[in-house]
Structure 1
Amino acid sequence: MSFFTSLSGMRNAETSLRVIAHNIANAETTGFKRSGAQFADLVATGNNTDPRLTPGIGATLAGITQDFALGPIEQTGRSLDLSINGSGFFMVTDPVSGETSFTRNGRMEVSVTGALQDSFGGALQAFPVDATGAPTSAVPANVIIPMSNAAGAELANISINPRGLVTAAFNDGTTTPIGIVALANFAAPNGLRPVGETRWQASGDSGAPAFGNPGSGSFGQLRSGTLERSNVDLAGEMVSLLAAQRNFQANARAIDTATQITQTVLNLRQ
């Protein structure tokens, strides 16, 4: 039994090493959130088992949790770079499949069609507004930036204020409000399903998204010209890496010791 107990420890140490390696690999990934492996012990027991004589039979993976703590904010000076100072996720929609994802990576750009999108082509979602900048709908939609205004003046620049209002400025000095960036919150963000590209999708464990404006209620304000860096602490990950390595070595040594004891017992019987 000691062989299987130590084997479970080695498998868990290997899982922990994979999670730590993934964190370290994404230490410079914008909007990345570190993960941590959680384990639970296994016990062989029954109704008639004396609790004072109950042996453990190893450990198992209880889950891999995500840490959504705010990462360092980096100044970029680029108006379409956005970070959220607080809770919330940007909502982007795949233009082909229509699937909605959520991200903390606020590096946005304007496509040739005028769509405001993230680095992977997902269309940023915002609440439509009227000419005064007041929202006209609670249903988010794609952000489309006009390349010129009614007078024919070309687009000069785009600005986004802390409340999420996207404004297009034109060469003739006029401005037009385009929309208010929509943010999403979840009752249990740890239940979000990671899908890669620093994106997550809602699941039964996370609950349905609740939408709102930046700076209102529990939603954080937007910071234009900044990006949120990964929240991975390399020093902490290196310490965890060493601990996982020692854990693996200790379990391997336990298997070696059990092998020696078994061999000794077999020699005695001979």
Structure 2
Amino acid sequence: MGFQQGLSGLDAASKNLDVIGNNVANANTVGFKKATAEFGDVYARSLVGASDTQIGQGVSVTNVSQSFTQGNVTITGNPLDIAINGTGFYRTVDTSSGQVSYTRNGQFHTDKNGFILSATGQNLTGYGVDSAGKVNTAVLTNLQIPVNDLAPLATTNTTFGINLDAAATPPTTTPFSNTNSATFNHSVSEQVYDGTGTAHMLTNYYVRTATGWDVYSQVDGNNPTGGNPLTSLTFNSNGQLTSSPSKVAVAFGGMSIASMDFTGTTQYGGGYNDTAPGVAQDGYATGRLASYSVGTDGIVTARYSNGRTATLGQIAMANFKAPEGLQSIGGNQWVETSNSGAPNLGTPGMGSFGLLQSSAVEQSNVDLSQELVNMIVAQRSYQANAQTIKTEDTILQTLVSMR
């Protein structure tokens, strides 16, 4: 009798309902990818070859495949919620076991040491930076947001690219005094820093002479160790700087500046201009982490209280020739298998890799409406197979009752 077909149908429909139920249960799971039960018919093997009257033995679940289609992206406001727009996976490492896994769940956070962790506690891997602050894509590392303050940097180079008024005349009051504006024509100041990050005010005073300009330099009102004037500037008839050298070294008590660059200084008519090309220096004070952000290219950037920014690294991404061959280990994580192939690593936006969106997460790609319809179909299939068994039982009872 044909109980086998009905029983296999019940088993297949039950597994199908399990798959649908799992999809529905994870409809709100970030980064979840829905699965679909795939079926195949079953035939008994014949030793004498094919038969025109061969009857199938029922159905079996041949595979449960996952669909890696894009889920909807939802804004969260958390800078470490990062959604993938496109293909690819995050690469994570379990520090205790060393197991590498891959995920689409972009809900990250930091631990007490600043390491970026996935929702299940694995380290997010990426590419670190070299001593020059450039991303080094040759070596993978666990990404970290430093919890320590940014060390200060002493000023070693300054630039004073300003325009001096060609119509200016030498002061009638001498000698130079920084407290008497009648003894100089113009002054420009900028903040500089010593090795401890302490700020000081550097001021250059420009005094018109018969042949050009004398530059008097002071830090917090103190003259340089070599005395003033620091240097003299001369210009040609077109207002271009002709004095050499245009860069000078200067030392003050407690700090020294290796290069004070006057290369951009001009002497044109129309008054003084301190923004052409401007005044700048390369030092900064101690900085505390104020915020951080992740760009669409996966670059993690920190912003400090002293106005500085620093590149901390770049998120790495992985893709597979056959992502359907990945093995799910729970927690929205997959591991590679021989069916998926080895991972192809890269960075967001490179090749076929998708871009990242910070302060957002990728929702599950489960369509609840479709799943509820599938549930009805699976339920009806279960009922129909149960009816097959009931009918077979009725026939069997009839045969047993024959005398």
If the length of structure 1 is used for normalisation, what is the TM-score? 0.96
SS at match of 2:340: coil
Instruction: After superposing the two structures, state which structure 1 stretch, 121-130 or 228-237, moved more.
Output: 121-130
Going from structure 1 to structure 2, the CA distance change for 1:219 and 1:50 (only over 3 Å counts) comes to: closer
Verify: 1:91 aligned to 2:91, yes or no.
yes
Residue type at the aligned position of 2:388: A
C-alpha deviation, 1:140, in angstroms: 1.6
Q: Distance in 1 between matches of 2:60 and 2:67?
A: 21
Name the residue aligned to 1:127.
Answer: 127
Q: Distance in 1 between matches of 2:373 and 2:352?
A: 34
| SS of corresponding position for 1:37 | strand
Higher Rg: 2
1:251 to 385, 391, 397: 385
Q: After the TM superposition, which residues 25-174 of structure 1 pair with which residues of structure 2 at under 5 Å, given as runs? A: 25-46=25-46, 48-130=48-130, 134-147=134-147, 148-151=149-152, 152-174=286-308
Q: Is the 8 A contact 1:126 1:142 kept in 2?
A: yes
Q: Distance in 2 between matches of 1:35 and 1:164?
A: 29
CA contact (8 A) 1:130 1:177 kept: no
1:61 Cα deviation (Å)?
1.1
| Alpha-carbon distance in structure 2 between the residues aligned to 1:184 and 1:214 | 9
Residue number in structure 2 paired with 1:191: 325
Kindly state the Cα deviation for residue 218 of structure 1 after the two structures are TM-superposed: 0.5
Q: Which AA in structure 1 matches 2:305?
A: N
Shift of 1:79: 1.3
Q: Give the CA deviation at 1:132.
A: 6.0
* 1:38 and 1:64 in contact (8 A); partners too: yes
Does structure 2 conserve the Cα–Cα contact (< 8 Å) formed by 1:132 and 1:177? no
- Residue identity in the other structure for 2:151: A
Aligned to 2:202: none
* C-alpha separation in 2, matches of 1:153 and 1:97: 36
Which residue type is aligned with residue 250 of structure 1?
A
User: Could you say which residue in structure 2 is the equivalent of 1:264?
Assistant: 398
Hey, what does 2:266 align to over in structure 1? none
Deviation of the 1:45 alpha carbon: 3.9
2-structure distance, mates of 1:132, 1:76: 33
Tell me the CA shift for residue 49 of structure 1.
4.2
Distance 1:108 1:261, change over 3 A: same
Task: Give the SS at the match of 2:345.
Answer: strand
Q: Secondary structure at the match of 1:138?
A: strand
Shift of 1:158: 1.0
- Select which of 188, 202, 205 maps to 2:336: 202
Q: Do the aligned partners of 1:125 and 1:143 also contact (CA within 8 Å) in 2? A: yes
Kindly provide the CA deviation profile for residues 231-270 of structure 1, in whole angstroms up to 9, marking residues without a partner as x. Answer: 00000000111111111110011000000001101111x2
- For residue 354 of structure 2, what is the aligned residue in structure 1? 220
The one-letter code of the counterpart of 2:359 is G
RMSD of equivalent CA atoms:
1.3
The percentage of aligned residue pairs carrying the same residue is 40
Structure 1 residue 138 displacement after superposition: 2.5
8 Å CA contact retained: 1:131, 1:176: no
Per-residue deviation, 1:131: 5.9
Question: d(CA) in 2 for partners of 1:35 and 1:149?
Answer: 47
Give, in angstroms, the shift of residue 156 of structure 1: 0.9
* Aligned-residue offset at 1:95: 1.8
Query: Residues 180 and 250 of structure 1: is their aligned pair in 2 closer, same or farther, counting only changes over 3 Å?
Result: same
| Runs (5+) with no aligned partner, structure 1 | none
Matched residue SS, 2:101: strand
Letter in 2 for 1:206: S
Residue 137 of structure 1, CA deviation: 3.6
CA apart distance, 1:96? 1.1
2:373 pairs with one of 239, 244, 252: 239
**Structure showing the higher helix proportion among its residues:** 1
- Partner of 1:16, secondary structure, is helix
Report which stretch shifted further, 19-28 or 50-59.
50-59
Structure 2 unaligned blocks of 5 or more:
153-285
Contact 1:30 1:230 in 2 (8 A): yes
For normalisation by structure 2, the TM-score amounts to 0.65
Instruction: Give the CA deviation at 1:47.
Output: 5.4
Large movers: runs of 4+ above 6 Å:
none
Distance 2:132 2:66 in 1: 40
Secondary structure of residue in 2 paired with 1:158: strand
C-alpha offsets along residues 125-145 of structure 1, whole Å, 9 cap, x if unaligned?
011223665332423210111
